[in-house]
Structure formats: structure tokens, C-alpha cells
Amino acid sequence: MDTTRFKSKGFYIPGIITLIIFAGLVTLPLFGSLYNVILITTLLMYANLTVSWVLFSGLTGYMSLATAAFFGVGIYASALFLPITGAELPILVVVLIGGLASSIIAFGAGALTLRLRGIYFTIFTFGLVVLIMELLNWWELSVNKILNRYIMLVDNNYIFYVMLGLFVLVMLTFFFIRRSKFGLAMRSIGENEEAASHMGINVTMVKIVTFAISAFFMGATGAIWATKLSYINPHEAFKVLISFLPVLMAIFGGMGHIYGPVIGAVIFAYLQETLQTKFSEIYMLSFGVVLVLAILYMPHGLVGLIQKVWRRISGGKRVHT
């Protein structure tokens, strides 16, 4: 494991920076404007999805496009249990329901399909998004005769704190899994699945469990995010773009380091927010350009680039092996 890296003094500087950022985030609603609170809630939402995605796909190498499915299931949990009038369950319980529902679906879908490899698994996960959306659409229109569901209004600061709490949880989970024996098993599956099973790893179990953990955070994030949306319907809840953005953000940030997906998500989401408001006609186009440049010139993402520059500044004493 990477214990040597963490033991060296390089561990303290990121640790202190993390603490400062965390302190800033916790106190943000006290001094920040409402706009900033909402903006950072959005950034955290993307960070949660990206880190959850990397937690499964980055380590095992199974590219999942089911993010939108789990996120949407979370959103729908809120729509069902937090209606605009007469909500009976506390918000945090609904967030938990959103997460659990997603991980149950991930568990079932994983048990069925995680023996598929490569592109077949990816296609299936993408199909899952469409499948759940169409099922819900049919159920709403034909059975319930409902077009839109209206969701309870929640204070922005409260949403922010729940999102932040989820962010801390997903980061801790990611951090500890990466360094654990379980994380080692996941990496070995990502590298060579057959060899991993020769090592005595129950590869199917490891994959399914991780898929479910990752889905839990996606669902929980969706559930709290839904309270910002005021109304939803299946098409609003299951946007395919949500499946692709975390992949792009993770590539952009770099998956080799725990901070990579976070940095990628934050910068990417910030760009998206600002470009969308200022240059709404070309924002998708500029995204594409940024991504192509990122893949061409930063194969290990932003974090990889930073590490490279840092090594050059520090005289290349710590050669990467």
C-alpha cells in the first residue's frame, strides 16, 4: 500500500490544507453570501458523485454509467417521502432511504451483471438509467396520473450542511477503503481479475459490495439535492448527463490520488456554472475542448500535472517508481 507516501512529510501539508478548507466550509454560511452557499452546494454535489464513482469504477476498472440511475432514485425518494405538504419523515431519514434504495438496486443489478466485463457492463449500467426512468414514467403517467411531483422547500444552509456531511463521509470511506485490504483487493481486480481470483479473493462479492457502497452515496446525494429542485418528474430526475459528468470530472482531476476526483469535480463544476450563465451558447463546446486537451496533455489529470510540476521544482528527488 501507499503507506510510505503517507508517512513522509508530504502527508502533513495536504492534511493542513484539508483542515483549513474544511473549517472554511463549515463556517461558510456564517460569512458567505447565499449565492456562494448554493454554488458550493452544487460543487459538493458533483464532488460526491465523482468520488463515489471513482470509489467503484476507478479502483476496479469497471466503468459504470449508472450514476444517473442512483442519483435519480435518491431524487425520487425525496419526491415520494418529502412532498410539498404533509411530509412525515425527517429529511435525514429520507436521505438515508434514498441511499439505501440505491444500494439495494446496485446490489441486485450488480449480482446480475458484474460478471459482464468491459463494454458490456458499461452498456448495461447505462441501460439501467433508461430502464428505471421509463418504468417510473409509466408508473406516474398510467398508474398515478401525475405529471410532476412537488418537493418540500428546505433551507439552503441545511441542504449545504447535509451535502457537506455526505462529502466528508464519502471522502472518509474512500480514504479508508483505498488503504485497506479490501481496497487492495479492488485494485487487484482492476488490474487482473483472473489473477485476483487465484489469490483467493471473492471477486464477485468485492465488486458487488463496492458497487452498492458507491450507489449509496449517489442516492443519498440525489435525495438531498432533490430538495433544491422544487418539482421533479422522471425526465428531470434521470438526466443522462449526470452519468457522464462524474467520469469526465474524474479524468479531468486524475484518479491516481485521493484529491484528484475532488479537484476535478470542483473545477469542472465551477466552470460549468459560470460558463452556463455567461456563455450559454458555447459552454458545452468549450467543455469538449477542455476535455480533449486534458486527455491529450494531462493523462494523469490535474493532480498528475501538479505532481509532475512539483517534482520538477523540488529537483526530482522523489522519483516516481
Partner 1 sequence: MLEVSNLNAFYGNIHVLWDISFTVKEAEIFALIGANGAGKSTLLRAISGLLLPASGTITFLGQRIDHLSSNEIVELGLSHIPEGRKLFTEMSVRENLEMGAYTKPAWVQKAETLKWVYEIFPILKEREKQLASTLSGGEQQMLAMGRGLMSRPKLCIIDEPSNGLAPRLVLEVFKVIKSLRDQDITILLVEQNVKHTLETADRACVLENGRLALDGTCQQLLDSEHIRKAYLGL
> Where do contacts with partner 1 occur on this chain (CB under 8 A)?
1, 4, 181, 184-185, 187-188, 191-192, 194-203, 321
Closest CA to 137 of 233, 229, 260, 52: 233
Cβ at position 209, least distance to partner 1 in Å: 14
Phi, psi (rounded to 5 degrees) for 53 = -65, -45
Residue type, 296: L
* Integer angstrom CA distances of residue 299 from 154, 257, 306: 41, 13, 12
* Least distance in angstroms from the C-beta of 110 to partner 1: 17
Shortest Å, Cβ 207 to partner 1? 13
Rounded Cα gap, residues 132 and 135, in angstroms: 5
Residue 286, number of CB atoms within 10 A of its CB = 13
What span, in angstroms and rounded, lies between the C-alpha atoms of 301 and 220? 27
Q: In which element (H, E) is residue 319 found?
A: none
317 vs 306: CA distance, rounded Å? 15
- For partner 1, which is the closer residue by CB, 8 or 286? 8
- Three-state secondary-structure class, residue 53: helix
**Least gap, CB of 204 to partner 1 (angstroms):** 8
CB of 111 to partner 1, least distance (A): 14
E runs forming strands in 54-203:
149-150
Residue 222 or 260 with smaller CB distance to partner 1 = 260
Rank residues 198 and 235 by Cβ distance to partner 1 and give the closer one: 198
Question: Whole-number minimum distance, CB 21 to partner 1, in Å?
Answer: 30
Least spacing, CB of residue 3 vs partner 1, in Å: 10
Task: Compare residues 232 and 251 and give the one whose CB is closer to partner 1.
Answer: 251
Nearer to partner 1, 1 or 21 (CB): 1
Angle (CA) 32 302 63, round 5°: 100
CA distances from 42 to 224, 268, 271 (A): 11, 11, 12
- Rounded to a whole number of angstroms, the minimum distance from the CB of residue 294 to partner 1 is 21
Nearest residue to 320 (alpha-carbon basis) of 308, 302, 303: 308
Cβ(149)–Cβ(232) below 8 Å: yes
CA distance 48 to 227: 16
Q: Which is nearer to partner 1, 162 or 186 (by Cβ)?
A: 186
Our CB check for partner 1 shows the closer of 187 and 239 to be: 187
How many beta carbons lie within 10 A of that of residue 295, not counting itself? Answer: 13
Determine the 3-state secondary structure of 136 from DSSP: helix
Q: Which is nearer to partner 1, 202 or 274 (CB)?
A: 202
Output the smallest distance, CB 201 to partner 1, in A.
6
Q: Which is nearer to partner 1, 61 or 165 (CB)?
A: 61
